[in-house]
Structure 1
Amino acid sequence: MANETAPDAAKSVIIEPFGEAGGREISLYTLTNKAGMMARITNYGGILTHLFAPDADGRFADVVLGYDTLQDYIDNSPYFGALIGRYGNRIGGASFTLDGKTYALVKSQGENTLHGGKTGFHGVVWDAVPFVADNGQGLTLSHVSPDGDEGFPGTLSVSVTYFLSDNNELQIDYKATTDKATPVALTQHAYFNLSGDLGSPITGHLLRLEADRFTPTDETQIPTGDLAPVKETPFDFRRLRAIGEEIDASDEQLSHGAGYDHNFVLNRKGKGLELAAEVEEPKSGRRMEVLTTEPGVQFYSGNFLDDSYRGKGTVFGKRTGFCLETQHFPDSPNQPDFPSTILKRGDTLRSQTLYRFSTVKNRR
């Protein structure tokens, strides 16, 4: 349900109890900016549980799918709003070879590893430190993943900072170090629905991706190693167009994901923040831009959501949410031609993604 007026900007981050997991108390942290935008994050899985953004008439509504209780996230969540690691997306055969040694990972999707294994970063309790700055509010989460965690080598120390600025930008900064070479690929798995009606289809949202190529996959959604042009395919989102325009077209790649669930190769010019995607919802007038330092973005159109996912007073059925997961490419440890995801001892991984919200004239 939409809030008719903006909530009052808080002078400090609001902290509320949110249950217990792993023998630890879990909290819910509410960040609020001066414009009235609000984000709620829990230290269980680093989950973004709510994100209130204004429509073209100034009315606020939650624009991310999620649950009302911690137990629902624990029991039945398709990574709603969670931080993902050690490795976002898939690693084929649940194994890779590094420096002459082969590592067997925990299988979490058939014969492959998805999103870090069965207990990836989406299922751990993070240490949390909220803070207030001159131009917004933030939350820094930290976690130490031990050597051998889900089969990955090295003790990995990770921090992720969420920052909600007064410019209606949700910025996410990732940092990681290791004591042994290891693959690392971190991302955020929010499911967005900019209409504010979280049970409605997202196929009418307009999407543009800053990508001339994508990475085709086999039937288990592991990349073939090719970088295929999007031109004259259903994957061509170089202009703003409806997500549903060709989502059910007869196409081998679409059949592998039952719709869009693919990595797009971004047309990067440098190493800083660059535009990756923009989305508009015609009725509400909400607009979201995604900027990142990453080389790719996984566009997932919520094809496997079904009536078993119920929260926030609604049912999250098929294609009621979409994800734009900024990332390095899937299966990079097994794909020598892809950008490397190996973090070495003495090096520091730094990555940044920004979700910028604004409005456009309603396209009713």
Structure 2
Amino acid sequence: MNITTKEFGIVDEEKVYLYTLENNRGMKLSCTNFGCVVTEILAPDRNGIFENVVLGFNNVDQYIQHKTYFGAVVGRVAGRIKDAEFELDGKQYILPKTEGNNHIHGGVKGLHERVWLAEPIEQKNAVGMKFTYFSKNGEEGYPGNVELTVTYLLTNDNQWIFTCHATTDQKTILNVTNHSYFNLTGQVKDDILNHELTLKCDRFLELDKELLPTGNIINVENTVFDFRQGRKIIDGVHSNHPQNILVGNGYDHPFIFTENHNREIFLKESVSGRTLTVETNQPCVVLYSSNQLQGDFTIQEGVQARKYLGLCLETQGLPDAIHHPHFPSIVLDKGETYELKTVYSFGVEQA
């Protein structure tokens, strides 16, 4: 097992490094201390050919220039916060409005654009990186000094283990995720429309025209939101369901798990044979089929940005939970520890 390091750019006069983790089976995961961005994952297909299965850029400047959140740790609070404000214990907190009238993905300079401290991790059957960041009281409008630790481990079982721990010195809100865009075709040879996804979720959140949860929780039965027996992403793109049309023809919805730590997400791509199994301790996954991905730029394979190039599986708490008391709470109090764990297992199915 091996870790290599190289310079990746400079941000705010701080050096940014790219760390490449390699296990004993040839799988590699590259990540950077800028936003804990995962830039590349080389995973084998059924013929043993290693290719990149996530979207990314070749240098840090592109990550800053193009607000895609490719591969980044997003927070303090992932997703949208209605009207860019919230109340805790009778006190109102005002956040920057970064999408219309709302706040999204932690603000103008959320966790995804911060330079983190980094140190290598070497274990018997895994190598990894430990990233730490101290988010000061008032940063992007959020209360509390928050100490965050993110770890990425690459194991010899071809697993990427993502954890996040955080503590605060005063009551605040926290809901972190990783925003990787997966494409199991390898080297972005095709879009993700024919990827088949299985979710252990029987409910999803209804969204309004600003893509905020309305508070209504909808049963997936008899809709293209029912992934319990497996379904191709293209079904939602061609669907006339108002919720698919609302988000730009596809998916950008939180799905609520019926169970955890038991293959609750399974993604496969039949041509390459690649599979991805995701298990987490989080209550939901935001499924985003990159319906809004567009712009005059190319990703690291030289492919022009366009819709449906990647599939995000953002394991997290329910979006905008601070405004919906019937959602699981995302409030973190002094003396408590926030703990997130998501395991991505890469495999293959034979033809």
How far apart in 2 are the matches of 1:249 and 1:341?
A: 32
User: Where do 1:64-143 residues align within 5 Å?
Assistant: 64-143=54-133
Q: 1:315 aligns to what? A: 304
**Residues 75-84 or 244-253, more deviating:** 244-253
Instruction: Work out whether residues 34 and 136 of structure 1, in 8 Å CA contact, stay in contact via their aligned partners in 2.
Output: no
Q: How far apart in 2 are the matches of 1:108 and 1:76?
A: 14
Structure 1 counterpart of 2:325, one-letter code: P
How far apart are the structure 2 equivalents of 1:113 and 1:199? 34
* Structure 2 residue 147 is the aligned partner of structure 1 residue 147: no
- 1:333 partnered with 2:296: no
Contact 2:251/2:287 (8 A) holds in 1 = yes
Rounded Cα–Cα distance in structure 2 between residues aligned with 1:205 and 1:316:
18
Whether the 8 Å CA contact 1:218–1:224 is kept in 2: the answer is yes
Question: Are 1:345 and 2:327 an aligned pair?
Answer: no
Question: 269, 280, 292: which is aligned to 1:281?
Answer: 269
Q: Amino acid of the residue matched to residue 158 of structure 2?
A: N
The equivalent residue for 1:30 is 20
In the alignment, residue 346 of structure 1 is paired with which amino acid?
G
Distance 2:98 2:61 in 1: 21
1:160 equivalent in structure 2: 150
Cα distance in 2 for partners of 1:48, 1:248 equals: 31
| Range with greater deviation from structure 2 (193-202 or 323-332) | 193-202
How far did residue 191 of structure 1 move? 0.4
Counterpart in the other structure of 2:194: 204
CA–CA separation in structure 2 for the residues paired with 1:275 and 1:303: 26
- The TM-score with structure 2 as length reference comes to 0.97
Counterpart of 1:304 in structure 2 is: 292
CA contact (8 A) 2:128 2:152 kept: yes
* Residue correspondences, number: 349
> Does the CA-based 8 Å contact 1:40-1:48 persist in structure 2?
yes
Q: Does 1:266 align with 2:257?
A: yes
Deviation, 1:81, is 0.5
- SS, match of residue 333 in structure 1: helix
Q: After the TM superposition, which of the residue ranges 291-300 and 250-259 deviates more from structure 2?
A: 250-259
Q: Secondary structure at the match of 2:206?
A: coil
Q: Could you say what secondary structure the match of 2:207 adopts?
A: coil
Secondary structure of the 1:265 match is strand
CA contact (8 A) 2:188 2:303 kept: yes
SS of the residue 1:225 aligns to: strand
Counterparts of 2:208 and 2:46, CA distance in 1: 41
Aligned to 1:248: 238
Give the TM-score normalised by the residue count of structure 1. Answer: 0.94
- 1:152-171 per-residue CA deviation (whole Å, 9 max, x = no partner) reads 11111100000000000000
Task: Give the Cα–Cα distance (whole angstroms) in 2 for the partners of residues 60 and 45 of structure 1.
Answer: 25
| Contact 2:236-2:251 at 8 Å conserved across structures | no
Query: Alpha-carbon deviations, 1:311-350, whole Å to 9, x = none?
Result: 2222231101010000100100111000000000011111
CA distance in 2, matches of 1:118, 1:19: 20
8 Å contact kept, 2:200–2:257:
yes
- In terms of mean alpha carbon deviation, does 175-184 or 273-282 score higher? 273-282
Q: What do the CA deviations read for 1:205-225 (whole angstroms, capped 9, x no partner)?
A: 010111000010111011111
Q: After superposition, give the CA deviation of every residue in 1:64-102 in whole Å (9 maximum; x if it has no partner).
A: 001111111111131000010100111111111110111
Preserved contact between residue 220 and residue 256 of structure 1 (Cα < 8 Å): no
| Mapped contact 1:82–1:122 kept (Cα < 8 A) | yes
Matched position secondary structure for 1:346:
coil
CA drift of 1:201 comes to: 1.2
Contact 2:236 2:244 in 1 (8 A): no
| Structure 2 SS opposite 1:87 | coil
Preserved contact between residue 128 and residue 141 of structure 1 (Cα < 8 Å) = yes
Q: Are 1:39 and 2:29 matched, yes or no? A: yes
CA distance in 1, matches of 2:206, 2:219: 10
| Per-residue deviation, 1:16 | 0.6
Task: Return the alpha-carbon distance in structure 1 between the equivalents of residues 335 and 296 of structure 2.
Answer: 45
Which residue does the alignment assign to 2:345? 356
Q: Compute the displacement of 1:248 (Å).
A: 2.3
Please report the RMSD computed on the Cα atoms of aligned residues, expressed in angstroms.
1.1
Q: Which segments of 5 or more consecutive residues in structure 2 lack a partner in the other structure?
A: none
User: How far apart are 1:200 and its partner, in Å?
Assistant: 1.9
Q: How many angstroms does 1:307 deviate by?
A: 4.5
| Residue of structure 1 aligned with 2:4, choices 8, 14, 19 | 14
Show the counterpart of 1:294: 282
Query: Identity across aligned pairs (percent)?
Result: 38
The one-letter code matched in structure 2 to 1:209 is: L
Contact 1:309/1:317, CA 8 A, preserved across alignment: no
Q: Which amino acid aligns with 2:294?
A: D
Matches of 2:112 and 2:166, distance apart in 1: 16
Per-residue deviation, 1:184: 0.2
